[in-house]
Amino acid sequence: MVTEIQGLDVAARAKCSLGEGPAWNHELNALHFVDIFGKKVFTYFPETNSVTSFDTVLSPGAVIPTDSSKLLIAMNDGIYFSNYDGKELNREISIEPDIENNRMNDAKCDPKGRLFAGTMGDGISPTGSLYKISPKQIEKVLGDVTVSNGLAWTENGTKLYYIDSGRQSVLVARYDLEKSQPSHFETFIEFPESFGIPDGMCSDAEDGIWVAFFNGSCIRRFSSSGKLTHVIKLPVSQVTSCCFHGRESSIMYISTASLKLNPEQVNADIAGSIFSIDTGIVGTSTISYKS
């Protein structure tokens, strides 16, 4: 039996074209997220219900807080760092300079704060890859990727879940946390096209994964055995990603998009917003990048 979770709220009316990458900042007690096509990085402060933003010249695929009170931003051609207000935005790591039409997409840190990030091309051809990235080394861990998307680890860090949206599935790999090394990727769950396109995801303390479905109007939770257990239905179709609010929290934030929507369509005014909901299940927290 699948449980439908009720109580969804609009948290931040950002009107993103392609809202993505929600990530919780423990230091600021705030949520960061990006608008990829709008070329903006946002910060939402729940306590004051306020939103700030800054512009980026390129398209930000993901934003992650760092342990040095900065932001790590994955943009078209590499990994950038900036202050919280967007000042001193500089590229520090170049990614795929020889592949002209590729860009960075989703990114996340493992439980020890080490960065994994992926790339995509036209969304059809498998020209992308998933990388383990540090200032000293860039290691390709998976190639032939169409659209590199969601990343999530189990609570103990022994498994890595990964979404290449072009595969219409979630992959799972064994994970050596000490070496930050995944191995033996295999299919964990395959989705019917009627579900929509699997996009971003996060995990919870019970080792369940929560998957956002673009053009599927929902988040679905799957247990560690791959069983569908919960669903969160949204009033908008383009659901892109999700994360939990801080440590030991069951509050989830959900990013959405408003691509090619007619303003007269139902709920078009809240498409591209950040939504929030109490899932009733404690999630894993955003891990800051360890610089």
Catalytic annotation, pick one of 77, 110, 199, 207: 199
Max CA separation in the chain (angstroms): 52
Q: Would you call 204 a catalytic residue per the annotation?
A: no
- Spatial CB neighbours of 141, under 8 Å, sequence gap ≥ 6: 116, 130, 131, 132, 181, 182
Residues marked active site are found at: 199
